[in-house]
């Protein structure tokens, strides 16, 4: 009997096999806005800006299966995305959109790609990393991925 578990997605928690992650999950920037100190974004004013912040609005949310534990009141403890080759923290998330702090990323614009999982330029986000941030397992991250995001299968 063989139990491949995470191997079929390209994750090997034992380090025994030479596998590569098989999933890239990306979305696009749908808007870029400036939120002033004290202003709120997201539901019910749940994310209050501590300083003037450039915010990228992203086309994914909890309804797509992004683990809710990756969003806390402290962006330093939150999930991350890669935009223009740089990792940036998520600020908040709704059912259909999320908000990332792109204050330190130059020239972010509508239609820029944002990677939730995968490699962009020299940065990478893995399910293992998201599991660590959320305080859960890689398996929880894998099982949470919803059916709503478009899937493109490649050989």
Backbone φ and ψ of 35, nearest 5°: -110, 120
Q: What is the pTM of this model?
A: 0.91
- pLDDT value for 77: 93
Instruction: Using 50 as the pLDDT threshold, list the residues of the chain that sit under it.
Output: none
Q: Write out the CATH class of domain 19-144.
A: mainly beta
Which helix H or strand E contains 110, and what residues bound it?
A: none
Phi and psi torsions of 120, nearest 5° = -135, 120
Q: What pLDDT was estimated at residue 58?
A: 98
The pLDDT assigned to 118 comes to: 94
Question: Quick one: pLDDT at residue 140?
Answer: 87
pLDDT for the residue numbered 155: 75
Return the domain boundaries, the chain.
19-144
pLDDT of residue 22: 83
């Amino acid at each position: 009997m063989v139990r491949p578990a995470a191997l079929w997605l390209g994750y090997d928690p034992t380090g025994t096999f030479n596998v590569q992650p098989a999933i890239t999950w990306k979305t696009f920037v749908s808007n870029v806005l400036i939120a002033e100190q004290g202003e709120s974004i997201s539901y019910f004013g749940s994310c209050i800006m501590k300083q003037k912040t450039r915010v990228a609005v992203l086309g994914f949310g909890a309804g797509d299966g992004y683990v809710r534990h990756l969003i806390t009141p402290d962006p330093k403890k939150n999930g991350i995305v890669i935009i223009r080759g740089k990792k940036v923290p998520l600020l908040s998330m709704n059912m259909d959109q999320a908000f990332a702090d792109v204050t330190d990323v130059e020239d972010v614009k509508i239609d820029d790609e944002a990677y939730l999982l995968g490699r962009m330029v020299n940065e990478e986000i893995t399910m293992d990393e998201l599991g660590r941030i959320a305080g859960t397992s890689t398996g929880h991250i894998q099982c949470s991925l919803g059916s709503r995001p478009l899937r493109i299968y490649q050989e």
